[in-house]
């Protein structure tokens, strides 16, 4: 197990290195990618401006907490697009063109290869920097303790959110093994991710319940800020920890069904 | 001979009918941004002591959110990518032998492609208007609806002119797809497609007066939600015509200069 983990860790470091080398080869594209994401960052920041100008507080949470929520969402957007989505969007193409065949012959996990092969630094950097800056500014303005327990807890829920993101947004792409055109599904799943653009408290109770328990998209970025703000309901702790494991199991099950359904159409 | 324009126009209609599913899904993708903003404004207005934020009542802001999203969908061109492709692949060559110029051909195909979109948007907007009249008891006269129809049509043409001007940059830059992402997003923000321009404050509003963007989304929405008087709405039409004229001159100039750089790749 440990040997296997080390092997995959090493392979992933090679993936990162290769991605960085190929992006440095096309530096202008890389810089333009940074520019695109910076302009999206500007669009996200408009929400912060509105909340501050309106003096909006939700459920008694101080106004500066909005920086924690939108900052965590921005940070997660960078990680999601930089590490995962850039690979996920290529899955339908691999299935449709039959280029999956060659990947099937590789002596490592196909899911690992297909879902983590590329890392896009241009998409990740502005969002990660912008997100971390917002979180740090929000943290300081709120006077939250910068101790190991708070920071560790924040990162712990962020990692759990990362697992939820990986599993929840991989599932729609796997539909491409059964259907040719899944652009509509992509639109909807991107829209679902965007629900985290605002703290979940702005939504009605029913939407919050659906977003936590049925399609747990609200678990992705809300729980890190809620934890440090001491607003996380103890009853939800177990669910937040269990749901990524449950989703991972579901994704693995769908993945194996999908691969069995693959018939190498373009091969 | 006007027949060539009619043929180009009908080509645009055929194109839009061919990708009906994508077209309808395009409208479905509006759902999440509208959904998030409706909850945001609900929270902001229920919290605010002043029921008039940025000069909008709650009803006006709700109408702004829905109508701005619909109009941004209606006026979106995606033209930059087509023109870039024509320039880079040598596709412009064929217009040298066609009995119709590139600009008239593109605008006819574009307007033809907007027929279905225009009809659907009008139906949806009619729904919004009926909602305003019956639910918000908003007094909307027939003359206002007629003026709005004219403003909307001119907004479609004006945005075409903006896109056509921006797309000429493809003559100078090698890879422009990223650049067009940035311009599309910034133009949408500065047109008031995400939030009313009033959130930027008086100084920026004064700057936007000297730019054409606000006449594509911000002004049309304010015509229908009653923020502008009928006289002001008529003034909007004058300014739209003025901008269309100015951009027509500008595009003529830019394209005359740019076409000299064109090297007809692809033979």
Task: For residue A57, give the DSSP letter.
Answer: -
Interface with chain A: mutation pick from B19, B40, B68, B184, highest number of A CBs within 10 Å: B40
Closest to A215 in 3D by CA, of A200, A227, A226, A228: A200
DSSP B197-261: GGGG-HHHHHHHTTSSGGGTTHHHHHHHTTSS-HHHHHHHHHHHHHHHHHHHHHHHHHHHHHHTT
- Which chain B residues contact residue A195 at CB under 8 A? 32, 35-36
A169 touches A220 (CB < 8 A): no
| Percent share of chain B, pLDDT over 70 | 87
By three-state DSSP, how is residue B53 classified? strand
End-to-end CA distance of chain B: 29
CB A206, CB A230: distance < 8 Å = no
Interface confidence, given as ipTM, is 0.86
- pLDDT tens sequence across A82-137: 999 999 988 888 888 888 888 888 888 999 999 999 998 888 999 999 999 999 99
Based on the number of CB atoms within 10 Å of its own CB, is B249 exposed (0-12), middle (13-18) or buried (19 or more)? Answer: exposed
Nearest Cα residue in chain B from A42: B186
The nearest alpha carbon in chain B to A56 belongs to: B44
Strand pairing partners for A132?
Answer: none
pLDDT band at A31 (very low <50, low <70, confident <90, very high): confident
| C-beta of residue A121 within 8 angstroms of C-beta of residue A23 | yes
Q: How far is CA B234 from the centre of its chain?
A: 19
Q: For residue A202, which residues of chain B lie inside 8 Å, CB to CB?
A: 39-40, 42-43
Query: Cα–Cα distance between B157 and B244 in angstroms, integer?
Result: 7
For the cut 80, the answer to whether the pLDDT of residue B139 exceeds it is no
Count, residues in chain A:
267
**Site from B24, B29, B175 to mutate, A interface, most A CB atoms within 10 angstroms:** B29
Distance from C-alpha of B27 to C-alpha of B127, rounded to nearest angstrom = 15
Residue of A nearest to B29 (CA): A187
Q: Which residue of B has its CA nearest to A183?
A: B22
pLDDT higher than 80, residue B4: no
Residues of B with CB under 8 A from a CB of A: 21-22, 25, 28-29, 31-33, 35-36, 39-40, 42-44, 47-48, 53, 174-175, 178-179, 181-182, 185-186, 189, 194-195, 199
Distance to chain A for B33, nearest Cα, Å? 7
Cβ neighbours of B4 (radius 10 Å): 15
Predicted confidence at residue B2, as pLDDT, reads 64
- How many Å lie between the alpha carbon of B198 and the closest alpha carbon of chain A? 11
A34-56: pLDDT as tens digits: 888 899 889 888 999 888 888 88
Residue whose C-alpha is closest to residue A54's, from B46, B242, B37, B230 = B46
Nearest partner of B39 among A224, A50, A190, A77, judged by Cα: A50
User: Which DSSP symbol is given to B140?
Assistant: -
**CB atoms A198 and B178 under 8 Å:** no
- Separation in Å, CA of A128 to nearest CA in chain B: 19
Q: Where are the domains of chain B?
A: 3-259
Per-residue model confidence (pLDDT) at position A158: 95
Whether the per-residue pLDDT at B67 is higher than 60: the answer is yes
Are A229 and A61 a contacting pair, CB within 8 Å? yes
Q: How close does chain A come to B44, measured CA to CA in Å? A: 6
- Mean pLDDT over residues B254-264, rounded? 75
Q: Which of B20, B182, B184, B204 to mutate to test the interface with A (most CBs of A within 10 A)?
A: B182
- At B161-180, the pLDDT tens digits run 898 888 888 777 766 777 88
How far is the C-alpha of A249 from the C-alpha of A226, rounded, in Å?
A: 26
Structure tokens at B236: 């909007």
Q: How does the average pLDDT of chain A come out, rounded?
A: 89
Greatest Cα pair distance in chain A: 59
């Amino acid at each position: 197990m440990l040997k296997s983990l080390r092997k995959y860790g090493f392979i992933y470091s090679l993936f990162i290195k290769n991605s960085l080398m190929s992006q440095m080869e096309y530096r202008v594209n890389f810089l333009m990618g940074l520019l695109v994401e910076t302009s999206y960052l500007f669009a996200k920041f408009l929400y912060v401006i509105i909340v501050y100008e309106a003096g909006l507080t939700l459920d008694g949470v101080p106004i500066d907490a909005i920086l924690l929520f939108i900052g965590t969402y921005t940070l997660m957007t960078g990680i999601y697009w930089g590490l995962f989505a850039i690979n996920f969007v290529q899955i339908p193409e691999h299935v449709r063109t039959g280029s999956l065949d060659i990947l099937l012959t590789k002596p490592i996990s196909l899911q690992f290869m297909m879902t983590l092969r590329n890392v896009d630094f241009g998409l990740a950097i502005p969002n990660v920097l912008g997100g971390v800056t917002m979180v740090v500014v929000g943290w300081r303005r709120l006077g939250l303790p910068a101790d190991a327990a708070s920071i560790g807890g924040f990162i712990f829920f962020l990692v759990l959110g990362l697992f939820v993101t990986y599993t929840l947004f991989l599932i729609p792409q796997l539909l491409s093994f059964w259907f040719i055109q899944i652009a509509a599904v992509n639109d909807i799943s991107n829209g679902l991710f965007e629900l985290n653009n605002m703290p979940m408290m702005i939504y009605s109770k029913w939407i919050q319940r659906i977003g936590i328990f049925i399609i747990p998209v609200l678990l992705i970025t809300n729980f890190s800020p809620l934890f440090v703000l001491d607003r996380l309901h103890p009853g939800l702790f177990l669910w937040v920890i269990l749901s990524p494991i449950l989703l991972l199991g579901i994704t693995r099950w769908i993945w194996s069904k999908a691969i069995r359904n693959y018939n190498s159409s373009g091969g | 001979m006007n027949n060539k324009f009619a043929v180009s126009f009908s080509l645009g209609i055929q194109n839009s009918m061919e990708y009906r599913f994508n077209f309808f899904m395009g409208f479905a993708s509006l759902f999440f941004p509208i959904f998030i903003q409706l909850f945001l404004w609900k929270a902001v207005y229920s919290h605010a002591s002043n029921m008039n934020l940025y000069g909008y009542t709650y009803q006006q802001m709700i109408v702004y959110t829905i109508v701005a999203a619909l109009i941004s969908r209606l006026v979106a061109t995606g033209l930059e990518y087509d023109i870039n492709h024509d320039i880079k692949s040598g596709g412009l060559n064929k217009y040298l032998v066609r009995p119709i110029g590139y600009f008239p051909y593109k605008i006819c195909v574009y307007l033809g492609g907007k027929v279905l979109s225009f009809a659907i948007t009008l139906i949806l907007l009619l729904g919004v208007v009926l909602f305003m009249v019956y639910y918000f008891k908003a007094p909307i006269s027939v003359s206002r609806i007629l003026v709005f129809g004219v403003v909307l049509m001119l907004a479609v043409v004006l945005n075409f002119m903006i896109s056509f001007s921006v797309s000429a940059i493809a003559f100078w830059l090698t890879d422009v797809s990223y650049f067009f992402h940035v311009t599309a997003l910034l133009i949408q923000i500065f047109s008031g497609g995400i939030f009313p321009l009033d959130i930027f404050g008086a100084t920026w509003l004064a700057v936007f007066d000297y730019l054409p963007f606000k006449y594509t989304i911000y002004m049309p929405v304010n015509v229908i939600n009653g923020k502008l008087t009928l006289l002001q709405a008529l003034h909007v039409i004058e300014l739209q015509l003025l901008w269309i004229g100015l951009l027509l001159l500008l595009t003529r100039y830019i394209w005359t200069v740019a076409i000299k750089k064109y090297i007809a790749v692809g033979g």
